[in-house]
Structure 1
């Protein structure tokens, strides 16, 4: 396993990581979680991702209990959680100071940990001033509840505004963003966020490298395996949106490339994400040890992704976003920065 710095921070995270979304609490209990987490550690994974909303908090409880029973040294692992959807009450969701403070304390209680290494704002909150959120995330860091903070599925403009506020107030800005990134979803990572990597040293912990399993090829014939994510009641709508003819055609077109390299399509897809130098860690999901073992072998596929292979992949998926004009990108940043100054 290789380890990369989380953006410009000093925190090192495994190039491939493991997330509890869908699986913990919905498909797996503590006993099964322990075997999966240990399998990850045996393969060098040190970064584990969670969120207050996953299985309504049960995912955090399962991960916390599993880690405690495994007896791991806390300093050996990096644990993250995300705050936004904490309940049904009017103040149980969003990024107000109230919910960030109360939600973080509740997450730590469920995880049975004194701190998480990274805490994310799970989505942007249009009803809360970004300054309130920036101040609250710094409060959580000052309290020792988290070491770093980041965002998930924020726009480049929102991240830039957060950084402008943090710099003006001499506070810590978001060091990491957690966007969806895979062969079928690329715009934010490869286009929209481009100025942020240089300007702020933004790191990425990307999710859904297999597009919810579509890029494994297991749905190519239109059938949904009974033990797959798309067979779950809560994910049937996602299945209907994902399993369209154009997508399945691209998946089938990628198979010969994987075959030529002598690797499963899933490893090719994960390796492709990890090969992006702006990606600090690719968050993988799995419900079986065999899936983890297969996913982790993607590390060995990265060196096989030569420019010629990458061109073949692009010819099939044809999903590369147009790069923004660099001058226009810089001009946008300058104008936005001065607009922030004028507001204060």
Structure 2
């Protein structure tokens, strides 16, 4: 495993982050989830990402139990706040001072730790003044409940405004967590250039496009049983945009490239996002320990420019680059 600095800070994270979105507390049994976490630790992963909304708080509990007994100082634990949790009442969502203050305490209890290394705004909140949100995050940091703050899927302008407020408050906003893969490159035009100037790193999710870049889905064929495309609990909705024949045919052209490099398709996909110097870490998920071991093979892989050009040629026009697709849910109140 190799490690990179997260933003303009002294915090190092593993190039591969283990995340439990759509798996722990929903897709897989707790015993399997624990074995996946252990496999991550065995492979040198030190960074773990979750959120209070995953499986409506259960994912945090599962991760906390799986990490129990590990040396806390050797881990980097990330979680997030924004989406509805609990009974989903009128104040159980968003980035208000009330919701942030209550959510961090609940997350720490579920995770079994006194602090998280990174506390992230899961989306931008159009209903709460940004000043209120950033002041609440600053209070969380000053209380020692989080060391740094980050965001997820914020636009370039939102990053600039949030970073300026954080800086004025004396706290470090050091990361953004966007979707990023060979197929989904919407951050490259605006978010990455702005982040580079601000000292913000990307911790990217879905580097294998929810499994499409593993090559498991073939054009014109039924989806594999038990795959994310057949998951009615949310996975199928996320992956749908990639499951068309044009995209799947283009993805199949990546297999010879992976073969020549002695990589699996998944390893090629994860290694590809790590070539972007603004990416500090790629988040992988798993429903089986062997998936963790496979994906970790991407750590430290260097792809030369000729390989990157071949990837671009293979995928052609199926790549999405529209910067406007970086967005948060609209205001909840009219």
Instruction: Describe the shift of the 1:322–1:311 C-alpha distance in structure 2 as closer, same or farther (beyond 3 A).
Output: farther
Q: Pick from 291, 303, 306: which aligns with 2:304?
A: 306
Q: Deviations over 1:148-197 (max 9, x none)?
A: 00000011101111122233x34314210000000011121x22123333
Q: Distance in 2 between matches of 1:62 and 1:170?
A: 34
Q: Secondary structure at the match of 2:278?
A: coil
CA distance in 1, matches of 2:33, 2:240: 29
In structure 2, what is the equivalent of residue 218 of structure 1? 216
- Give the corresponding residue for 1:180: 179
Q: For 1:200-219, list aligned pairs within 5 A.
A: 200-219=198-217
Comparing 227-236 and 80-89, the one that deviates more: 227-236
What pairs with 1:1-344 in structure 2 (closer than 5 Å)? 1-68=1-68, 71-87=69-85, 88-167=88-167, 169-188=168-187, 190-221=188-219, 222-234=221-233, 235-299=235-299, 302-303=301-302, 305-318=303-316, 319=319, 321=321
SS in 1 for 2:148: strand
Unaligned runs of 5+ in 2: 324-334
Greater Cα offset, 29-38 or 134-143: 29-38
CA distance in 1 between counterparts of 2:43 and 2:162 reads 36
Asked whether the equivalents of residues 209 and 239 of structure 2 are also in contact (C-alpha less than 8 Å), the reply is no
The normalised TM-score by structure 1 is 0.88
> C-alpha distance in 2, partners of 1:239/1:284?
15
| Cα pair distance change 1:185/1:239, threshold 3 Å | closer
Secondary structure of the structure 2 residue equivalent to 1:147: strand
- Following superposition, the deviation at residue 320 of structure 1 comes to 7.8
Normalised by the size of structure 2, how large is the TM-score?
A: 0.91
C-alpha displacement at 1:104, in angstroms? 1.0
> Following the alignment from structure 2 to structure 1, what is the Cα–Cα distance between the partners of residues 192 and 32?
39
Deviation at 1:255, TM superposition (A): 1.4
The separation in 2 between residues aligned to 1:110 and 1:79, in whole angstroms, is 12
Within 2, Cα distance between the matches of 1:245 and 1:320?
Answer: 16
Secondary structure in 2 aligned to 1:163?
helix
Equivalent-residue separation in structure 1 for 2:98 and 2:105 (angstroms): 11
Deviations 1:243-281 (A, max 9, x none): 012211211121121122222111111100111111000
SS at match of 2:224: coil
Conserved in 1, the CA contact under 8 Å of 2:159 and 2:195? no
Q: Tell me how many residue pairs correspond in the alignment.
A: 317
CA deviation vs aligned residue, 1:85-126 (integer Å, no higher than 9, x gap)? 233111100000110111111111111211111010000000
Q: Matches of 1:215 and 1:200 in 2, distance apart?
A: 31
Identify, as 1 or 2, the structure richer in helix.
1
* Structure 1 unmatched runs, 5+: 324-344
1:226 is paired with a residue of what secondary structure?
coil
| Secondary structure in 2 matching 1:298 | coil
Deviation at 1:39, TM superposition (A): 1.0
Larger displacement relative to structure 2 (57-66 or 24-33):
24-33
Secondary structure of 1:126's partner? coil
Offset from partner CA, 1:289-336 (integer Å, 9 cap, x none) = 111111111125x22x1111111111112338599xxxxxxxxxxxxx
Could you say which structure has the larger radius of gyration?
1
